[in-house]
Amino acid sequence: MKNKEIKILLAAPRGFCAGVDRAIEIVKKSIEKYGAPVYVRHEIVHNKHVVESLKKIGAVFVEELNEIKDKTRPVIFSAHGVPKVVPAEAKELKMDYIDATCPLVSKVHREAENLNKSGFHVLLIGHKNHPEVIGTMGQIPNGSIDLIENIEDVNKFEIKRNGKLAYVTQTTLSVDDTKDIINALKEKFSNIKEPKKEDICYATTNRQAAVKKIAKLCDMFFVIGSRNSSNSLRLVEVANNSGCSEAVLIHSESSIPLEKITKCKTIGISSGASAPEILVENFIKKLKEQFSVNIEEVEIIKEDITFKIPGRLN
């Protein structure tokens, strides 16, 4: 098998985005400043490798604040954002909290709040039970926001209240799927207010565009990421929809389908916004043990965006 030659098209940009970088940095700096343990509500980002490496240096992950025994320790809110009741609960418990919500998610939160204050009923395009969706819906009162997951939901939705309607979107959706839902909304509700600037984040858009560019040239496409990572799952869908007959998510428990790869001439690789580059390197290393590999990186855009961490941690 070693002599079998395989071409790898490596999508760029891939992997960590600025929001993920910032969230991980916030956990590390908090441990440096306050010592261990530092608590983190929910996985800081959706990646097992990242979570395990932060546990090793003193991060303790919980789902809810009431699981924290020592309320004198700081707690960090994950990059996905939290409903308003969470910081309110932390204040009530007199807990010191640090918010690692991605600034692009915070932008959607503020948008939903401002729309609500201006008397709009808000529709959130997103996936049910995703932490980002729970966080955004929790910014404004119950009954003033509805979730739209697909075109069927658009067809079923009827305007309540005063007829003023607006939409926002989860930041990690498929650009193409969202476009179809937005078109359906505009067709049904011609006066619907749209965001000034698209909510889907730059990193999601760039990673999907890079996959789209190379997927049709590949016999198989591999996305390195976690099963609960929305943006990783969307990359698999994008590869499938862009002309690659088989796209596969490689997560922490995956075994590499070497038999199938043997039948390929060209494979594509990308990684979700919460997957560290070491996982891509390890994947390629395993392929090199079996095949003669020729790698070509296909970069569609250079990313140089960074987000500041809270001043108190500097």
Catalytic position from the list 132, 158, 187, 296:
132
Catalytic (active site) residue 89: no
Three-state SS for the chain is: CCCCEEEEEEEECCCCCHHHHHHHHHHHHHHHHHCCCEEEECCCCCCHHHHHHHHHCCEEEECCHHHCCCCCCCEEECCCCCCCHHHHHHHHCCCCEEECCCHHHHHHHHHHHHHHHCCCEEEEECCCCCHHHHHHHCCCCCCCEEEECCHHHHHHCCCCCCCCEEEEECCCCCHHHHHHHHHHHHHHCCCCECCCCCCCCHHHHHHHHHHHHHHCCCCEEEEECCCCCHHHHHHHHHHHHCCCCCEEEECCCCCCCHHHHHCCCEEEEEECCCCCHHHHHHHHHHHHHHCEEEEEEEECCCCCCCCCCCHHHC
Catalytic residue list: 132
